[in-house]
Structure formats: structure tokens, C-alpha cells
Amino acid sequence: MSSLFNTYLYNPLLNALIFLYQNIPGHDLGIAIIVLTVAIRIVLLPLFYKGAKDQAILQRLAPKIKEIQKDHKDDRAKQAQVMMELYREHKVNPLSQFLIIIIQLPVLIALYWVFLKGINGSMGLNNYFLGFINLSSRSLVIVVLAALAQYFQGKLALPKITKSGGELSQMEKMGRQMVFFGPVLTVMFLSYLPSAVGLYWLTTSVFSVIQQIVINKRLNVNGNSTNGKN
């Protein structure tokens, strides 16, 4: 298993980071990490886009889901059937977010070790980003920026509350809590890691913000569309 991990993930990513560092003007390791992160997100864009789009649609379907749960609270089988029909109608997979986490986890682990390997001094790389941020040590600036980017991405993914929306469903409440809980976890997690990992997290979060803006425009956020065909 470890040989497969090294052959298909760790070694290619490490070689890509070294290649970018050696060929980018200025030989800036931070710029190399940003370019590598963007390249990975572009490769995985269909997967991430599908997951983020499904999540956005599910957020907007929350009132309908709540209504179905209320109408069929005494018949779980019927409730599940109607729920699946709703998902099929809007072409959404409620498990897509979990599938994304499972698929990208090996990539995240490989990148973690690549960044640690790239900044440990044995690779002969300059550890400084823009000449003053040491990527081998912790950086409060990068941690805060990464948390802020994640917060804005979470806010963009939430549907707007209408005046006649009534009480929020459990799903909606959890979604709004995660907007704040996610950045807190990010700060706690990145505060103990080299800023190279934080720079990756910041870059992928900014990419997610841009992606979410595109998704929201396609889903016609300013209107009432929740059709999965958009």
C-alpha cells in the first residue's frame, strides 16, 4: 500500500513541486506551492464542482426537505421515497460531499508530506515565501487568511434567509454553524503546522471561494432557482 502511495501520489507531487520551484522565476517555494495547488484543483475541478453544486442545491432545497419530513413523519419508507424523488428531480447526490472527502484524503496526506519534505532543508529549496515568510515555521498571517477565506466560502454556500422562511431546519442550522466552526477548526489545525501547509489551505480556500461564486451565479442565487440543470 505504501509503495502505491509513493508511486502514484507522493513522488509525482514532490517532483512537480521541485520542478515548479526550479522553473518559476525567483525560485520562490511559496509561489511553487500556490501553482501546484491551483493545478491540483483544476485537475479535480469536476469532482469539487459537482460536490459544491450539490451542497448549494441541498441548502436551497432545505424548506422542501423539511416539508417532506413533516408530511411523512409517521411513514419513514414513504419519506425516503419522496426524498429520493426530490433528489432525482434536481439531479443532486446528498452523499457527494462525503465522497469528495474520501477521494481527496489521500491527496491531502500526500501533499502534507510533500510540503514537509520540500521545506526540511534536504531538498536544497529556499524556504521563504516572498522573501519574508518562512514556510518551515508557523505563520499567524497565513493561518488567519486561510480561516477568513474558508469563512467567506461557507457564507457563499448558504442560501439567503427569506422573511417568510420561518424556523430553520436542523440541516440549515448545522450549515450555518459550520460557517463559524470550520474556520475555528482551521485555526486550531494550522496553528501547529508549518506555514507551507497553511499556504496550501489558503490557496485551495480562495479557489473554493471563486468556484462558489461561479456556482451561485449558475444557480441564479438572486432568484429562486434550485433546478439541478442550471
Is 228 within the bounds of a domain?
no
Q: 29-62 pLDDT, tens per residue?
A: 899 999 999 999 898 888 778 877 787 787 778 7
Residue 129 lies in a domain: yes
Which of 1 and 47 is assigned the larger pLDDT? 47
Q: What local confidence, expressed as pLDDT, does residue 118 receive?
A: 66
Residue 13 lies in a domain: yes
| Nearest one of 166, 171, 202, 177 to 187, comparing CA atoms | 202
H or E element: which one contains 50?
A: helix 45-60
Q: Examine residue 229 and state whether it is found in any structural domain, yes or no.
A: no
Distances in whole angstroms, Cα of residue 8 to Cα of each of 1, 15, 161, 192, 212: 11, 11, 45, 28, 29
Average pLDDT over residues 223-230: 48
Q: Are the beta carbons of 180 and 151 closer than 8 angstroms?
A: yes
The structural domain count of the chain equals: 1
Domain holding 112, by residue range, is 2-218
Distance CA 19, CA 172 (A): 44
Is 68 part of any domain? Answer: yes
pLDDT confidence of residue 31: 93
In a domain, 88, yes or no: yes
